[in-house]
């Protein structure tokens, strides 16, 4: 499996480069979906900078293959593979318990894994697949490990959204898209939910006096298997072919896309509750920048989504700040 390395990317037009990432020695980072694409490149960069990286992967076999590839390039990398199926609440609870058994704090959580433009499917718990994995899965994961985040000094949570969030609408009467399913509309809603969640999470961190930053980021258009995997679930050949063609014509490499996630996760000027991504070409490439929040992220819809997510998952956040 060949990858463009972060060090080989020509980022001459940017005011932030991966080389500016701080040393992460002593830090622990969790990256969901770390076996491929943006997640793999993010995990590799964290490991290269000295962090202990937990590769949270649905397939342990693919996770170990990714671990071996990173270790081959960086023999001193500190890496760990833990199984995580975001489509199953019991599996998320298992992962959180295992993480807390092995670690006493968490410095960086990257909510990266996702499903895109799939036909109508449901998770193990009956949630519409895209909303269930992309939003509810990461809402649950973050809530179950929030105590590890609050034990760290200046921890960060980076939740991946997308430029497709612009087409999203939070339909509180049908968040599970049961009445009228459209794969593209459901994906856009899930990515808007990711962004709204990141904003509300920061508000709640601030309210609780927690020294944790929550931000949203999106990687522009990066050529990963995310685009073709979802549309191939119903066995059709035309949509995957179109996505592969568009990737060839328009997309950047996963390593390039990871730059925006790494910026959000490590740059010192990042502000909690904000949204970061590419600044040029319809937010597909260019220097990392702060992007405008959608209007809905500045309304009571953020709290409504939070309450709905608690109701769906049964996960409630404990923001208790440990005594110094």
User: Looking at residues 33-43, what average pLDDT do you find?
Assistant: 95
In a domain, 46, yes or no: yes
Q: What is the tens place of the pLDDT at every residue in 293-321?
A: 999 999 999 999 999 999 999 999 998 76
What is the reported pLDDT for 4?
46
CA distances from 161 to 111, 115, 126, 199, 227 (A): 9, 12, 23, 12, 14
Please indicate, yes or no, if residue 319 is contained in any of the structural domains. Answer: no
Phi-psi region of 51 (alpha: psi -120 to 50; beta: other; left: phi over 0): beta
Q: Which residues contact 303 (CB under 8 A, 6 or more apart)?
A: 200
Judged on CB neighbours under 10 Å (0-12, 13-18, 19+), 133 is buried
Do the domain assignments include residue 248? yes
The stretch 65-81 carries a mean pLDDT of: 97
Q: Which positions ≥6 away from 323 have C-beta within 8 Å?
A: none
Q: Does a structural domain hold residue 200?
A: yes
Q: What is the pLDDT of residue 239?
A: 59
CA distances from 148 to 142, 152, 153, 154, 244 (A): 10, 7, 10, 12, 39
Quote the domain boundaries for residue 58: 18-310
Mean pLDDT computed over 124-141: 98
In a domain, 48, yes or no: yes
321 in any annotated domain: no
- Cα–Cα dist 264/289, whole Å: 9
* CATH number, residue 177: 3.40.50.720
Q: How far apart are CA 161 and CA 274, in angstroms?
A: 12
How many separate domains does the chain show?
1
Would you state the structure tokens that stand for residue 174, as one six-digit string? 């049908």
pLDDT in tens, 88-124: 999 999 999 999 999 999 999 999 999 998 999 999 9
How does strand 285-291 pair with strand 275-280? Answer: antiparallel
Domain-located, residue 7:
no
Highest mean predicted confidence (pLDDT) among 11-25, 51-65, 231-245 = 51-65
The partner residues of 78 in beta bridges, in order of sequence, read 52
Nearest to 138 by CA among 180, 89, 210, 77: 89
Active site residue 317: no
Distance between CA atoms of residues 187 and 17, nearest Å: 30
Q: pLDDT of 153-168, one tens digit each?
A: 899 999 999 988 889 9
User: What is the C-alpha separation between 306 and 311, in angstroms, rounded?
Assistant: 9
For residue 281, give the 3-state DSSP assignment. Answer: coil
Confidence of residue 134 (pLDDT cuts 50, 70, 90): very high
What is the DSSP secondary structure assignment for residue 323, as one 8-state letter?
P
Given a contact cutoff of 8 angstroms between Cβ atoms, the answer to whether 287 and 256 are in contact is no
- Asked if residue 3 is part of any domain, the answer here is no
Where do the H-state alpha helices sit in the chain? Answer: 37-48, 60-73, 89-102, 129-130, 138-144, 146-150, 183-208, 226-231, 238-250, 254-266, 301-313
Say how many residues make up the chain.
324
How distant is the alpha carbon of residue 70 from its chain centre?
A: 20
Distances (CA, A) of 215 to 160, 250, 291: 9, 26, 11
Residue position matching structure tokens 């949630």: 127
Segment (H or E) for 30 = strand 28-32
8-21 burial, b for 16+ CB within 10 Å, e for fewer?
Answer: ebebeebebbbeeb
* Of 175, 182, 185, 160, the residue nearest 254 (C-alpha): 160
Q: Catalytic residue, from 187, 260, 276, 317: name it.
A: 187
Is the pLDDT assigned to residue 9 strictly greater than 50? no
What is the rounded CA–CA span in Å between residue 120 and residue 177?
9
pLDDT, mean over the chain:
88
């Amino acid at each position: 499996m060949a990858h463009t390395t972060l060090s080989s990317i020509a980022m001459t037009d940017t005011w932030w480069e991966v080389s500016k990432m701080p040393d992460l020695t002593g830090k622990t980072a969790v990256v969901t979906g770390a076996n491929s694409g943006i997640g793999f490149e993010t995990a590799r960069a964290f490991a290269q900078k000295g962090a202990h990286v937990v590769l949270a992967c649905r397939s342990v076999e693919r996770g170990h293959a990714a671990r071996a590839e990173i270790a081959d390039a960086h023999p001193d990398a500190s890496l760990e593979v833990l199984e995580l199926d975001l489509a199953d609440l019991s599996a998320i609870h298992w992962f959180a318990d295992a993480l807390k058994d092995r670690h006493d704090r968490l410095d960086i959580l990257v909510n990266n894994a996702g499903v895109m433009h799939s036909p109508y499917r449901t998770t193990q718990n009956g949630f519409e697949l895209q909303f269930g994995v992309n939003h509810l899965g990461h809402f649950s994961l973050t809530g179950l490990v929030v105590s590890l985040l609050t034990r760290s000094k200046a921890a960060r949570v980076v939740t991946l959204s997308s430029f497709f969030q612009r087409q999203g609408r939070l339909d509180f009467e049908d968040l599970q898209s049961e009445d009228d399913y459209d794969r593209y509309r459901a994906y856009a809603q899930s990515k808007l939910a990711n962004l709204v969640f990141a904003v509300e999470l920061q508000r709640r961190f601030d309210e609780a006096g927690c020294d944790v930053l929550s931000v949203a980021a999106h990687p522009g258009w990066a050529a990963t298997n995310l685009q073709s995997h979802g549309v191939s679930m119903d066995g059709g050949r035309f949509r995957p072919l179109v996505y592969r063609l568009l990737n060839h014509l328009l997309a950047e490499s996963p390593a390039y896309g990871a730059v925006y996630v790494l910026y959000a996760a490590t740059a010192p000027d990042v502000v909690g509750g904000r949204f970061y991504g590419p600044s040029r070409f319809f937010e597909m490439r260019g220097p990392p920048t702060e992007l405008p929040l959608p209007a809905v992220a500045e309304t009571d819809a953020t709290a409504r989504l939070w309450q709905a997510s608690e109701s769906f998952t049964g996960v409630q956040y404990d923001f208790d700040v440990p005594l110094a």
